[in-house]
Structure 1
Amino acid sequence: MNEADALDLFQAAIWTVLVSAGPAVGAAMIVGLIIALFQALTQVQEATLTFVPKIVAVLVTIGISAPFVGSQISIFTNLVFSRIQSGF
C-alpha cells in the first residue's frame, strides 16, 4: 500500500462519515435555530426546551435516512474489501 492508496481510503472514510452524519446534524441545526428564534421572540429562556425537540428531530431524521446511510456505509465497505482483495 502506497501513500496514494492510503490517502484515497482516508478520503473515502471521511466522506462517508460526513455524508452519514449530515442528515442528523442538519436536522439538529435547523430545529436548534427555530427554537432559538422562538426563544428570542418570546423571551422564554428555558435551557431544557431545546433538548426534546432536537432529540425527536434527530431520531425521526435517522429513521427516514437510515436506508441512505446504510447504502453509503455499504459502498465504503465494498470499496475497502475490494482493495483488500486486490492486494492494495
Structure 2
Amino acid sequence: MNAQMVLTTGREALTLLLMVSAPVLLVVLAVGLVVSIFQAVTQIHEATLSFVPKLVAAVVVFAIAGPWMLGTLVDYIRRTIESIPALAL
C-alpha cells in the first residue's frame, strides 16, 4: 500500500461522509433558519421551540433518505473490504 492509495481511500471516505450527511445537515439548517426567523419576528424565545422542529426534521429525513444512506455506506464498506487482498501486492 503506497501513499497514493491511502490518499485516494481517504478522499473517497471524506467525499462519502459529506454526501451521506448533507441531506440531514441541510434540512436541519433550513428548519433552524426558519425557526430563528419566526422567533425573531414573534419575539418568542423558547428553547424547545428551536430544538423540537429540528429533531422532527432530522427524523423525517432519516426516514426518507435512510435507506439510501445505509445502502451507500454498505456499498463503500463492501468495496473497501473486497480491496483488502489487492493491498497485499
Establish whether TM, by shorter chain, passes 0.5.
yes
SS of 2:87 mapped into structure 1:
coil
CA distance in 1, matches of 2:12, 2:28: 25
Which residue matches 2:61? 61
Counterpart of 1:23 in structure 2 is: 23
Structure 2 CA distance for aligned equivalents of residues 54 and 75 of structure 1:
29
RMSD: 1.3
Q: Residues of 2 paired with 1:3 and 1:87: CA distance? A: 12
Runs of 4+ in structure 1 deviating by more than 2 angstroms, as ranges, are none
TM-score (norm 2): 0.89
Q: 1:71: how far off?
A: 2.1
Count of aligned positions: 88
Q: Counterpart of 2:5 in structure 1: which amino acid?
A: D
Q: Which runs of 5+ in 1 are unaligned?
A: none
Superposition deviation, residue 46 in structure 1: 1.5
The separation in 2 between residues aligned to 1:5 and 1:82, in whole angstroms, is: 15
Larger RCO (CA within 8 A; separation ≥ 6): 1
TM-score using structure 1 length: 0.90
Aligned-partner Cα distance in 2 for 1:59–1:3: 39
Q: Identity over the aligned pairs, expressed in percent?
A: 32
**Aligned partners of 1:7 and 1:45: how far apart in 2?**
46
